[in-house]
Amino acid sequence: MATDFRDLRVWEEAMVLAEQVYLLSRELPADERFGLASQLKRAAVSVPSCIAEGNARRSKPDYVRFLAMSMGSLAEIRTQILLSVRLGLVRESAAESCLATHRTVTKLLQALINSLQPRSAQVAMPNSSPFPVPRSRP
């Protein structure tokens, strides 16, 4: 384990993602300030925070548990950004930068989790498009 969370590339990239999310949330309409914008920012702050807290726990099971919480927050962020684009609240081009950093953080985080777990418990990351084609509705 790294001696300090600030030495982890995944933590640094997660901080960049949080900054990007804060900037993106400024594009959301004022009536979303206490809704989607607030939820998106909380999830973004949670990613590097859980990485730091898990690192400070100094036990592999605790560390992996906090990293898994970061992974959950990443899923929230992606969902909320994609929803914002679908609703026309943010431009797809503005969201793409966040989603590119999101992909980097997700890959780095999964690699860190895998490095801390036995091979039998490791998970492969799916390859997905940042803006999947929506399924047709009945």
> Locate tokens 């998106």: which residue?
40
Candidate from 30-34, 113-117, 128-132 with smallest mean pLDDT: 128-132
Instruction: Give the CATH number of the domain where residue 9 resides.
Output: 1.20.1440.60
pLDDT tens-digit readout, 80-121: 999 999 999 999 999 999 999 999 999 999 999 999 987 766
Confidence of residue 34 (pLDDT cuts 50, 70, 90): confident
Q: What is the mean pLDDT of the chain?
A: 89
The answer to whether residue 123 is domain-embedded is no
Burial of 126 per CB tally in 10 Å (0-12, 13-18, 19+): exposed
> What's the Rg (C-alpha) of the chain?
16
The answer to whether residue 73 is domain-embedded is yes
The answer to whether residue 28 is domain-embedded is yes
Confidence of residue 122 (pLDDT cuts 50, 70, 90): low
What burial letters (b/e) apply to 92-122, b meaning 16+ CB within 10 Å? eebbeebbebbbbbbebbbebbbebeeeeee
